[in-house]
Chain A
Amino acid sequence: MKKNAETSLLRGIDSLAGQLPGHSPSTEVVLRIKKAIYKKATPERKTEFAPVMDMNELSDFLRVSKETIVEYFDEIPSFELGGKILFLRKSVEKWIETKETNFGRAAEWANLDMAGVDRLVTQQIQ
């Protein structure tokens, strides 16, 4: 086939492609997704926390489920007021710091020279 003819056919494909019918999700699905997004996004959207938090706020603050909070309840500093369990943000933050030193490797890394870092990395790879 001649080059020109082929070029014009290719252009024909482009122009056809531009006319392809658009597909869109049904209204029902759109609403379903909006609901799911809202459900998912709302609790995690909070970025500022009051000095005193309740269970829901703490779950947002720590980015874990309420079940996890319950699981660690004995460890997490809390207080009771008027039958409500509350958390002092400052105390929770302090508690997190102890967790960090216990479980994180920050301290270990901080005391290493480069050779030590290499050794640690090799260990982790193996």
Chain B
Amino acid sequence: MSKNMKEISDEDLMAMYQNGNNMAFDLLFDKYRAPVFNFIYRMVNGDRTAAEDLLQNIFLKIAEASEYYQPKSKFSTWLFAIARNHCLNFLKSRHAIKQKNTVSMENRSDNTESTLGEQLPAKEDTGKAVQNKEMLDILDANISALPEKYRELFLLHAVEGLPFGEIAAITRVNAATARTNYRRARLLLLEKMKPFLITEGNA
């Protein structure tokens, strides 16, 4: 991809796609497949097959609905809103099928290990890195156990790094509510992780 191609805004790429340029959509897919997958993967509690199917459906939906896309709203907002809706619908139907489905901590770490690439390199010595990895696994498992409303907020802000204004548009609440839900999510996580964090801090 040339440097110039990268500088074209998402909204321009969508306009190009609307005018029949399929490559523009390919670029959008390549740009967003990883962050969107990362979000949905954790939204569906590490169910890789489900996340992959959802990813496909989300981008097909985007392609299909592209003619209704208005550049007034940011492309990423629109994309994540569609991704979120797909996740919530999936969770709802899964919940209906299986009344209770919480992925155990053991399964979580299995899943984490089986993922491809993008693992952060350990910066410190091995001992610290392993400890850190354990902490991350614990955090991952606890995010997985959060109620959906808080899980999506935490993932969108702390993991995907989206600002509250955009998250508010994605989750259809106002920015203050988004912020409050995020704080609550963090407090819930803190409650679960306090014992581990305190030992860490003192070590």
Binding site for B on A (CB under 8 A): 6, 8-10, 12-14, 16-26, 29-30, 32-34, 36-38, 40-42, 44-47
Contact = CB atoms under 8 A, between A and B. Distances in A.
B12 interface: no
Contact of B42 (A23, A24, A33): A23
Interface SS of chain A: helix, strand, loop or mixed? Answer: helix
Contacts of A23: 37-38, 41-42, 51, 115, 118
A24 B33 contact: yes
A30 B34 CA distance: 10
Contacts of A12: 197, 200-201
A113 to B, nearest CB: 32
Interface SS of chain B: helix, strand, loop or mixed? Answer: helix
A41 B136 contact: no
Nearest to A46: B20
Interface of B: 17, 19-20, 22, 25-26, 29, 33-34, 37-38, 41-42, 51-52, 55-56, 59-60, 63-64, 112, 115-120, 132, 135-136, 139-140, 143, 154, 158-159, 161, 186-187, 189-190, 193-194, 197-198, 200-201
B149 to A, nearest CB: 17
Contacts of A36: 56, 60
A41 B120 contact: no
Contacts of A16: 135-136, 139
Contacts of B29: 33-34, 37
Contacts of B200: 12
B115 A18 contact: no
Given A13-B186, A23-B37, A47 B19 contact: yes
A104 B109 CA distance: 57
Contacts of B186: 10, 13-14
Contacts of A26: 52, 116
Contact of B63 (A14, A17, A22, A40): A40
Given A21-B112, A41-B22, A45-B20, 13 more contacts: A9-B201, A14-B186, A16-B135, A17-B139, A20-B139, A23-B41, A24-B33, A29-B55, A33-B55, A33-B60, A34-B26, A34-B29, A37-B29
Nearest to A48: B20
Which of A13, A42, A44 lies at the interface centre, i.e. has the most chain B CB atoms within 10 A of its CB? Answer: A13
Nearest to A12: B197
A17 B117 CA distance: 18
27 contacts: A9-B194, A10-B186, A12-B200, A13-B190, A13-B193, A13-B197, A16-B135, A17-B158, A19-B120, A19-B136, A20-B140, A21-B112, A21-B115, A21-B119, A22-B34, A24-B118, A25-B51, A26-B116, A33-B29, A33-B55, A36-B56, A37-B26, A37-B29, A37-B60, A40-B63, A42-B22, A46-B20
A40 to B, nearest CB: 6
